[in-house]
Amino acid sequence: MKYEPSWNSLKQHRTPKWYQDAKFGIYTHWGVYAVPGCRPNATWYPFNMYREGTPQHRHHVKTYGGPVKFGYKDFIPMLTGENFDPDKWAQVFKDSGAQYAGPVGEHHDGFAMWDTQYSGWNAKKMGPKRDVVGELAQALRKVDMRFMVALHHAENWWFYPHWNPAYDTADPRYAGLYGEPHDLDFAGNTPPNSEWDRMTKPSKAFLDMWLNKTREVIDRYQPDVLWFDFALNFIQEHYKREAVAHYFNRALEWNREVVIEYKNHDLAAGSGVVDLELGRFDKLMHNEWVTDTTVDDGEGWGYLHDARYKTPTSLIHYLIDNVSKNGHLLLNVGPTPAGELPEEAKHILKEMGAWLRVNGEAIYGTTPWIKYGEGPTVMKKAGAFNEDQPLLYKPEDLRFTVKDDSLYAISLGWPTNALNIESLRCLYPQEIKRVTMLGAEGELPWRMTEGGLCVGVPEKRPCDHACTIKIERKHPFA
């Protein structure tokens, strides 16, 4: 079929099975913002450095003399990428157990990480002088991973202040990076919240540029996943529908199943999978969803010089909890200006990969069970739990997944003796064929009680972070 640029046509697209089975992806925020690498959010440094009263403006004045002397464009030569090795990145991501990965193609800052014909402000012509998107596409496909590209460039329209003539953001010579000057009647450092209310709608030239860059990424790199950040609501609806229809129709030509991840209600229902930034649901959901979070404390996204990293346990539990509720996890890593993955991030990904090699059967290709689990749930914001704690949950807290007649009860910790699974009181004893723990030898003893299914656990742990009880079943009366 051919997709038309209408929501009625586009909603006929189905989320591919490979994506439903994948559960776990990785993306990288690597761009000019990695050079200052400053809190509170690395990727928002170019926004805040021009706004007095923000921590990043104070840092910029102290370190670089202020935005009048040193504009964001002046960081570009410092994004050297001298140690950027896409094959090494791809192998780290492959070993993590992620099933798809890719870069942010362009963030709000307007600097494209591919060799775009629509702007000279790109990583092929400046900075690392590499087609980062293209090189990563090749490297990831060499290790048999699906490829994704994240696009944030819809937000470039309102990202920079064009109304202050002292700043380079107001200079038309740099409009390819900072965007065409507009809303020049704003007064000084207008508070950001009122900026959104007063901002004029994007011009035809901006919308055409947004669509052309999006099509270019689709046509040139054929991504399996296309991810859109906030501010698609700034893009006029016909442009969005044209972009989505173009992507789905090109995928038909490639004979490839693709998926879109997006925020809020910025596309019509059925166009893709909704992403919850730093959030998750507290219950089992009927529709699939994904959350993107980051390996550090949530302030980084891009590289931070003083990053505080989450524990591997917290992120493994995050993945388990999401999957049990019909969700996925997209995990961000912020590389250094030289193009290196931080050692702390590599350690986290290595631990996640080790756990998934033992327990991946309970994650990949599963569906949620009729109940997501038992025990408390962490929800809403990643920062709501204590990152310094080795465990998010008590060992008796469980999450369930299922694959055919195998039911998986994932314990978010290590039970001390026996594990009582209250939710499994609904099982008939005669439907249970055997009970095992993934990674451990032999069957586990079990018995059904009024309080639930009681399972004995082995003395030796097969893995760290969480363990999986596998209950193999059959028809109780067949």
Q: What is the pLDDT of residues 62-107, one digit of tens each?
A: 999 999 999 999 999 999 999 999 999 999 999 999 999 999 999 9
- For residue 149, the cross-strand partners are 226
Q: What average pLDDT does the chain have?
A: 92
* The pLDDT of residue 384 is above 80: no
CB 80 within 8 A of CB 128: yes
Which pLDDT does position 401 carry in this prediction?
Answer: 98
d(CA 413, CA 389): 12
The model's pTM: 0.94
d(CA 476, CA 297): 48
> Where is mean pLDDT largest: 265-269, 277-281, 416-420, 431-435?
431-435
d(CA 46, CA 76): 12
* The pLDDT of residue 29 is above 70: yes
Q: Is there a single domain that holds both residue 372 and residue 271? A: no
Helix (H) or strand (E) holding 228: strand 225-228
CATH of the domain at 399: 2.60.40.1180
Helix (H, G, I), strand (E, B) or coil at 29: coil
* The pLDDT of residue 389 is above 50: no
The two structure tokens encoding residue 212? 């052309």
Per-state percent for the chain, helix, strand, coil, to nearest 5:
35, 20, 45
| pLDDT level of residue 416 (50, 70, 90 thresholds) | confident
| pLDDT level of residue 283 (50, 70, 90 thresholds) | confident
Q: Is there a single domain that holds both residue 30 and residue 152? A: yes
Q: Is there a single domain that holds both residue 162 and residue 49? A: yes
Lowest mean per-residue pLDDT among 137-146, 306-315, 392-401: 392-401
> Is 80 part of a structural domain of the chain?
yes
Q: Which residue has the tokens 């639930």?
A: 452
Phi first, then psi: give them for residue 376, nearest 5 degrees: -70, 160
Residue 413 belongs to domain spanning: 368-473
Phi first, then psi: give them for residue 227, nearest 5 degrees: -115, 130
What secondary structure does DSSP assign to 415-433, as a single string? -SSEEEEGGGGGS-GGGEE
Q: How many CB atoms lie within 10 A of CB 235?
A: 22
> Is 315 part of a structural domain of the chain?
no
Q: Is there a single domain that holds both residue 374 and residue 257? A: no
d(CA 439, CA 204): 58
> Is 264 part of a structural domain of the chain?
yes
Cβ neighbours of residue 41 under 8 Å, at least 6 residues apart? 299, 300, 301
Buried/exposed 301-322: b ≥16 CB within 10 Å, e otherwise: bbbbeebebbbbbbbbbbbbbb
Domain boundary among 277, 306, 328: 277
| pLDDT level of residue 391 (50, 70, 90 thresholds) | very low
CB 3 within 8 A of CB 79: no
CATH of the domain at 40: 3.20.20.80
Which pLDDT does position 1 carry in this prediction?
Answer: 76
> Is 223 part of a structural domain of the chain?
yes
d(CA 31, CA 29): 6
Buried/exposed 14-50: b ≥16 CB within 10 Å, e otherwise: ebbebbbebbbbbbbbbbbbbbbbbbebbbbbbbbbb
d(CA 51, CA 311): 33
* The pLDDT of residue 393 is above 90: no
CB 158 within 8 A of CB 199: yes
Q: Which residue has the tokens 């780290």?
A: 92
DSSP assigned state of 444: P
Q: Is there a single domain that holds both residue 131 and residue 266? A: yes
Domain boundary among 250, 277, 304: 277
> Is 388 part of a structural domain of the chain?
yes
Best CA proximity match to 149, nearest among 251, 223, 260: 223
> Is 59 part of a structural domain of the chain?
yes
- Count of domains in the chain? 2
Cβ neighbours of residue 83 under 8 Å, at least 6 residues apart? 336, 338, 339, 340
What's the rounded mean pLDDT across residues 453-470?
Answer: 95
Cβ neighbours of residue 120 under 8 Å, at least 6 residues apart? 126, 176
| pLDDT level of residue 178 (50, 70, 90 thresholds) | very high
Q: Is there a single domain that holds both residue 101 and residue 234? A: yes
